[in-house]
Amino acid sequence: MLKQERYKAFVEYFSKNNPDAQTELNYSNPYELLVAVILSAQCTDKRINQITPKLFERYPDAYTLAASSVDEVFSYIRSVSYPNNKAKHLVGMAQMLIEKFHNVVPEQIEDLVKLPGVGRKTANVISSVVYHNPAMAVDTHVFRVANRLGLTYRATTPLAVEKQLVKNLPKETIAVAHHWLILHGRYICLARKPLCEKCPITYMCKYFEKTYHIKSAPSAIEIKN
């Protein structure tokens, strides 16, 4: 299967089977999403959703968060990965959000990455989810699944993966394709042992073709045994 055929098959399948894919982080406004995504670095969405209700109750907006101490914020997020750094980032982010951006979560990537704790991946999430821009956030799931499917070629960095996906996906699908790739990686295309026997898209998967030494991938049910 040629690259463009893979992209076409990828978009057709998920457009039909999961057209409204969304983030699994719980939030009610751009500020809450920004906080949640900062916290989610190297941590599961499930864990973040467990701690954010009390966190958002205590800090319902950037003003309350900016006025807090790092130690107090730490007490709410101690169960996430790297809580010390993230507590500092959250307080610093809230302060800059108020002072530099007038309490409005910015839309542009170049503005978002100025905020403490916000890298390119987080910025792309905010840009795509909040502002519906054609931005592709590349986390470990996106990186892995794009490579295994054969959507990317010799892309050894997140930025390289991002550029190839943005170049080849239809513009109107880029934002939702981010979620397609994440969810597929989270529940089917696992890092250590992908569940190929349960995968509905083996027919378009380069990893499957290579692993099972086939030229045309059969359906998932045909490889169960």
- The owner of tokens 């790092």 is 70
Q: Tokens representing 30?
A: 């751009």
Whether 139 is catalytic is yes
From the candidates 121, 193, 210, 224, give the one annotated as an active-site residue: 121
Q: Are 47 and 68 in contact, with CB atoms under 8 Å apart?
A: no
Find the DSSP H helices in the chain: 3-17, 30-39, 45-58, 62-66, 70-77, 83-99, 109-112, 120-129, 140-149, 158-168, 174-187, 206-211
Task: Please enumerate in sequence order all residues whose Cβ is within 8 A of that of 149, keeping only pairs 6 or more positions apart, or say none.
Answer: 6, 10, 201, 204, 205, 206, 207
From the candidates 3, 139, 171, 206, give the one annotated as an active-site residue: 139
Whether 121 is catalytic is yes
Catalytic residues: 121, 139
